[in-house]
Amino acid sequence: MADQSLLLNAVTYMGAAVVAVPLAKRLGLGSVLGYLIAGVIIGPWGLGLINNVEDILHFAEFGVVLLLFLIGLELNPKRLWAMRRPILGMGGMQVGLTILALFAIGRLAGLSTSSALIIAMGLSLSSTAIALQTLTEKNLLTTHAGNSAFSVLLFQDIAVIPMLAMIPFLGGSVAEQGDPIIGSLKVVAAIGGIVVLGHYLTRPIFRYIAKTGMREIFTAFTLLLVIGIALLMQMVELSMALGTFLAGVLLAESEYRHELEVEIEPFKGLLLGLFFISVGMSVDFGILFSSPVMIMALVAGLVAVKLLVLWIIASRCTDPVPISQRPIFAFLLCQGGEFAFVLFSAARGAGALEDRLADPLVVVVALSMVTTPLLMIIYERFIAPKYVEAGENREPDKVDESDNTVIIAGFGRFGRVVGRLLHANRIPTTILDHDPDHIERVREFGYKVYYGDATRVGVLHAAGADKARLLVLAIDDPEAALKVVDQVNKHFPGLKIVARARDLPHAFALKKRGIEVFQREALESGLRLGEETLQQLGFGAYHAKQAAHAFRDHDLELFHDLYEQGAYEKRISMQRQTKTELEKVLSADEEDIEHRRKQAWD
């Protein structure tokens, strides 16, 4: 019966999501609001199909854990250090000013110092899941507002740790927490273990797994790594999400980064969807119906206070957000966040927050999450057109360090030459290769080469194919190279391809797929050697070069003539038919040579 109940619940979640989310997106409401609506419909206050909301919410919070792991993968330590000013500046100002404003309001409302501070801390946090989902859907991550919002969210996620650490003191239950020195040692040991694991041990393990060629084991170890770190952080009473974020940062420079993103992404998407559904189910409409004016006033007050603080920060910070993007920045972060649920739950357990305060606050946070997609709709339909009419031009997007201009797929003897030339001219490049041993050798020379199969759409997307200007296709296997071309043409039509053609049939196949810029790998090197040969035979340098140019022009003209006549198909067919005969001829030649060698020896 338990198995049947589990399957029934799974069908209910997926059915609600399949119906509500596409409908919400079609109406312009966004996927997040669709998930929230689905949760309300199937929850205790809707059709009542699901009742164990608390259990589901705790499980679904793992979606946020995976989300922060993926965020960490985008931030190598150098980039994180480079972002320290917006993170500490804008993020610190937002959290600090919001806590001060909400704490003052709480005290004026008659709350105790500890209750007012806990509520202010919880409500100062924004929803990382909703904000990042919206940034991704609206393609705003590379804008000034998107970068600024990301910095604030990152500081908030880090700030959760000291907030959680303060709760036992505010609840007066410090004595029950055990020896603080031992607790601190556990925390240091846990973080040290994550650093050692992420920096030194995971790479050889991933390399060993990659050599097996078993993709499911790669996925299993990725999930094991994330879940294991989350459990380790939970054991020392720290934020699971921040622990996995730290692991992601440590793996950001790994050659397996893009493959990790691809393996985690589906699980993150499903669990985040489940999280939003569970938030919708957690809205206690009993409290809302009993005190609708108070609840809606609290929601409006929370959103208004955070909007005011965010607008001040956006206009007064060292690198102010352009006025046309300030509404986006403020709307993205003005809601309550998922970590407020965690904070209020911990405060309840420590006796620092009464149920009469915590219950309505959970409803307020959940309803405030609904305001973000609604505010974004208001911005797109009513605010953004005014900036366009006023001639307010959107400033150029800030190019992120990971948003490289060129992607090189395949870093063997051919791709390395192209990569060295680009590197010498300081052109940002993302390099993908699928040979673990080869990657290790190349990395010794200082190149950032990532492990990933470029024939997979997810790997291309993770490598930035939707933002890059050019893909250099230098994969040795012609069939794999053609598969990459097909994937790019289908999913990234704006990405230009320059390709290596292994031979003439490969060049014909590339041409057929619309690739205009390609180089037959043996042609230029052969011509160059032929030119040198002519000079060694007494030709002058000028005449040798002219002869090589004439041959190149003739070869190119012949190639186009054959292509236009459809001869490339005949040539490929003939090549396949004569392959066996050619092997027989070569075998016979080898036998004849061996026979003559024996006769000479005798």
Does residue 71 register a pLDDT over 60?
Answer: yes
Which of 234-243, 276-285, 566-575 has the least mean pLDDT?
Answer: 566-575
**Token couple for 210:** 């990659």
The 10 Å Cβ neighbour count of residue 438 is: 15
Instruction: Let me know: does 429 contact 405? Beta carbons within 8 Å.
Output: yes
Strand pairing report for 470-473 and 406-409: parallel
What is the C-alpha to C-alpha distance for residues 143 and 397, in angstroms, rounded to an integer?
5
Give the pLDDT band (50/70/90) at residue 393: very low
As beta bridge partners, residue 407 has 430, 471
Average pLDDT, integer, range 57-83: 72
Torsion of CA 85, 86, 92, 94, to 10 degrees: 160
CA distance from start to end of the chain: 85
Average pLDDT, integer, range 541-555: 82
What is the C-alpha to C-alpha distance for residues 467 and 405, in angstroms, rounded to an integer?
8
Give the pLDDT band (50/70/90) at residue 98: very high
Torsion of CA 58, 59, 61, 64, to 10 degrees: 170
* Nearest-10 crossing angle of helices 338-349, 355-378: 180
Strands (E), 188-346: none
Burial grade of 211 (CB within 10 A; 0-12, 13-18, 19 or more): exposed
Does residue 501 sit in helix, strand or coil?
strand
The dihedral built from the CA positions of residue 435, 437, 441 and 443, taken in this order, carries a sign that is: positive
Strands (E), 354-495: 406-409, 429-433, 449-451, 470-473
Mean of pLDDT over the chain: 77
Can you give the pLDDT at residue 601?
46
Residue with the two structure tokens 């490598």? 463
Higher pLDDT: 437 or 417? It is 417
Does residue 195 register a pLDDT over 80?
Answer: no
For residue range 477-490, what is the model confidence (pLDDT) as tens digits? 888 888 899 889 88
Can you give the pLDDT at residue 602?
47
Does residue 297 register a pLDDT over 90?
Answer: yes
Percent helix, strand and coil across the chain, each rounded to 5? 75, 5, 20
Average pLDDT, integer, range 305-311: 95
Does residue 597 register a pLDDT over 70?
Answer: no
Average pLDDT, integer, range 64-82: 73
- C-alpha of 593 from chain center: 59
Q: For residue 135, give the nearest of 331, 313, 351 by alpha carbon.
A: 331
Q: For residue 11, give the nearest of 37, 52, 50 by alpha carbon.
A: 50
Average pLDDT, integer, range 117-135: 88
Position 50, amino acid:
I
Which of 7-21, 253-267, 433-447 has the least mean pLDDT?
Answer: 433-447
Residue with the two structure tokens 């930035």? 464
Average pLDDT, integer, range 60-79: 72
What is the C-alpha to C-alpha distance for residues 280 and 35, in angstroms, rounded to an integer?
7
Average pLDDT, integer, range 357-369: 87
Give the pLDDT band (50/70/90) at residue 237: low
Can you give the pLDDT at residue 411?
84
Which of 76-80, 117-121, 313-317 has the least mean pLDDT?
Answer: 76-80
